Amino acid sequence: MNIHKNLANNRDFNKSKANFDSIYTQDDPREYYRVLYGLDYVIPDLAKAVFRQVASALAATRGRRLRVLDLGCSYGVNAALLKYPLDIDRVAGRYRELEFAGLESEAVTGFDRAYFASWPANEIEIVGLDISAPAVRYAEEAGLLDIGVVADLEARDLTPAEAEVVASVDLIISTGCIGYIGERTFARLLAAFGERKPWIASFVLRMFDFAPLESLLDREGFATEKMRGVTFVQRRFHSEGECAQALRQLRARGLDTAGKEEEGLMHAEFFLSRPAGEADDLSLEKLASITSGSNRAFGRRFSTLADDRLRFGR
Ligand SMILES: C[S@@+](CC[C@H](N)C(=O)[O-])C[C@H]1O[C@@H](n2cnc3c(N)ncnc32)[C@H](O)[C@@H]1O
């Protein structure tokens, strides 16, 4: 397999996407949320439900607090949603307040640190890796990341210290990142692990071909399953040009765009890759599912306890 050619193909797809590079390199996330949430960027919110189910199935087998690596973590949006009882509307909405507009980045980071610390946190540790030093610094200082790693693993190997951190990770997650990164990054990450390999939970835009990465993972002893019958909205297309180009590329790949990209929305698919033996007992279908409406808040209601008794509670 030609690693260079596969990533180059995905990069060609990436060229058709709007170029938001500057929003990922500011000292705080105001521009990131203003631009992306302005385009209804909802994938971290939709991914949260799946990541939580995967994390809970994995925690049951590891029997300890999980350490998660968020690949292409940017300003730590996945960490915010996984750790705290927050949704993206709430987090992005913070920066719509006029009072936030004139602040120095340092002040924004300070307010955010206090804000996130004011919520009860889930027992989960998050390592974030991104090429953007300012984004990783913000996410660490705001308390979203327990450990931040600034690295471009398309271009270089891990340092020994980075490899040690990576080797301690149980689960690798990503949203909106595959396409920017590909087989080279994964080959380098996987080389850091010893006997205990991670699970890898990836949301991938349909414009990107996951097959080359899946082949690499297969050779490394991972079994990959795609969540069937469901796609996840990433965001609205930015422009007619971006939409038209994506439709051409998707159709050239033989994908049916009806009801999805034809409606002006980018869609992603979910892939779970696990060390082959660990995937045998519990299929993806059994460990994670999507229930329409499950992301909404509901009032107190009946639920069933392990011994089949009903209780009225949260
Ligand atoms: C579309 S953003 C997604 C960010 C975040 N996961 C989300 O869902 O909002 C892609 C991220 O990948 C990062 N990135 C791009 N190339 C990278 C590379 N070679 N290595 C690590 N991160 C990279 C960017 O800095 C950016 O934060």
Q: Is 154 in the pocket of ligand 1 (CB under 6 A)?
A: yes
Say if 175 falls within a structural domain: yes
Burial class (CB in 10 A: 0-12, 13-18, 19+), 26: middle
CATH code of the domain in which 207 resides: 3.40.50.150
Say if 78 falls within a structural domain: yes
Instruction: Give the DSSP H/E element, type plus range, for residue 49.
Output: helix 43-62
Strands 222-226 and 265-275: antiparallel
d(CA 217, CA 108) in angstroms, rounded, equals 40
Say if 85 falls within a structural domain: yes
What is 264-282 written as a DSSP string? TEEEEEEEEEEEGGGGSSS
pLDDT in tens, 112-124: 999 999 999 999 9
Give pLDDT tens digits along the chain (314 positions): 344 444 455 555 555 566 688 999 999 999 999 999 999 999 999 999 999 999 999 998 888 899 999 999 999 999 999 999 999 999 999 999 989 999 999 999 999 999 999 999 999 999 999 999 999 999 999 999 999 999 999 999 999 999 999 999 999 999 999 999 999 999 999 999 999 999 999 999 999 999 999 999 999 999 999 999 999 999 999 999 999 999 999 999 899 999 999 999 999 999 999 999 888 888 999 989 888 776 667 788 888 887 888 888 76
> What domain range includes position 159?
3-275
Number of structural domains, the chain?
1
Strands 232-236 and 66-71: unpaired
Which residues have CB under 8 Å from 81's CB, separation 6+?
Answer: 44, 45, 48, 87, 88, 91
Q: Is 175 in the pocket of ligand 1 (CB under 6 A)?
A: yes
- Name which of 172, 164, 157 is nearest 73 in CA terms: 172
pLDDT in tens, 249-295: 999 989 999 999 999 999 999 999 999 988 888 899 998 988 877 66
For a mutational test of ligand 1's pocket, the pick from 37, 69, 131, i.e. the residue with the most ligand atoms closer than 8 A to its C-beta, is 131
Say if 284 falls within a structural domain: no
Angle made by CA atoms 301, 307, 313, in degrees to the nearest 5: 20
Say if 289 falls within a structural domain: no
Q: Is 130 in the pocket of ligand 1 (CB under 6 A)?
A: yes
